[in-house]
Amino acid sequence: MSAVMTIAGRDLRAYFASLKGAVTFFFLLMFMGLFFQSFCSTYLQFQEQASQYGGEPPKLSQLLTAIFQNLHFIFLFIVPAVTMASFAEERKTQVDRLLQTAPVSTIQVVMGKFGAAAGFLALVLIASAVFPLYLFKYGNPDLGPILTSYLGIFLLMAGQVAFGLWVSSMVSHQFLAFLFTAFGLFLLLILAWIAPNISSAGGVEEFVKYLAATSHLDNLFNGLLTVADVVYFVVFIALFLFFTNVSLDSQRWR
């Protein structure tokens, strides 16, 4: 465990030592601020219309869904930028020899790298808590949906990080890792939308929809925490970390 923490701690500090850390922080917070500001004003407009002309006022979960689903798109570029160098760059500069010859197992290395990348993005999310705090200052929102939305976006991000690490472990140039990760994550994002086109057979369509992260996020954005959704993300993360481990181990034999 201490080896995992050592590797994660070093990599986490490395994010802040490079421009990448600052740029990622800046872009994520800036987009989140933009979404928050624009959707909040729309939310207020609808609320005012509802009180003036009657009808159902908008729900908090609708506001959260709008903000976080848009953030999902931004993650398509942010997550690959964070994970692309994890293995690819170290292999190119041959710094990977340090961990290969240290008395640590491959799984410890993978967990360390995952901890660093997921931890770094979690820090950005923590910093973004300033936006919901505004809601509490000027209104009286439900805490539950906000917390489950944050959990959902964190699980999504951790899953994307695991996917990004797997891609980075297979290529030797970080730019390729960025492209392939972004493309893969995009496919995962649109799975739910293209599911009806893949097969009209009910079972297959449902299965493809189940594979898409978006269908599991909806519950969480609505304030609904289910074991099935959390298990989906945990299995997704475990599976891609396992793939990363296999990919790194197999490279020793090529």
Partner 1 sequence: MIEVVGLRKTFGSVNALNDISFEVAKGQIVGFLGANGAGKTTTMDILCGCIGADAGLAKIAGFEISEEPLEVKKRIGYLPDEPPLHKEMKVNEYLTYVGKLHGLAGQDLKRKVAGIIERLEIGGVQSRLIGNLSKGYKQRVGLAQALIHDPEVLILDEPTEGLDPNQILQIRQLIRSLRDQHTILFSSHILSEVESICDHLIIIDKGKIVEQGTHEELIARLESGRQFQLKVRQGASSLAAKLKAYPSLFDIVVDDEDGQKISFRTKDQDQDLDRVAREVLDGGFGFQELALKSKKLEDVFFQLTR
Binding site for partner 1 (CB under 8 A): 2-3, 6-7, 10, 14, 17-18, 93-105, 252-254
Q: How far is the CB of 25 from partner 1 (least distance, A)?
A: 17
Q: Which is nearer to partner 1, 137 or 252 (CB)?
A: 252
Residue 254 neighbours by CB under 8 Å, 6+ apart: none
Q: Which is nearer to partner 1, 98 or 227 (CB)?
A: 98
Which long-range contacts link 36-42 to residues 24+ away (Cβ below 8 Å)? 36/67, 36/131, 36/134, 39/63, 39/66, 39/67, 40/135, 42/66
Q: How far is the CB of 14 from partner 1 (least distance, A)?
A: 6
Q: How far is the CB of 92 from partner 1 (least distance, A)?
A: 11
Q: Which is nearer to partner 1, 97 or 204 (CB)?
A: 97
Q: Which is nearer to partner 1, 89 or 218 (CB)?
A: 89
Q: Which is nearer to partner 1, 14 or 246 (CB)?
A: 14
Q: Which is nearer to partner 1, 119 or 184 (CB)?
A: 119
Helices 143-170 and 60-83, axial angle in degrees (round to 10): 20
User: Rounded to a whole number, what is the largest CA-CA distance in the chain?
Assistant: 71
Q: How far is the CB of 182 from partner 1 (least distance, A)?
A: 25
Q: How far is the CB of 218 from partner 1 (least distance, A)?
A: 40
From residue 221, alpha-carbon distances to 145, 216, 218 in Å are 6, 9, 5
Q: How far is the CB of 59 from partner 1 (least distance, A)?
A: 46
Q: How far is the CB of 77 from partner 1 (least distance, A)?
A: 23
Q: Which is nearer to partner 1, 29 or 104 (CB)?
A: 104
- For residue 168, report the phi and psi dihedrals to the nearest 5 degrees: -65, -30
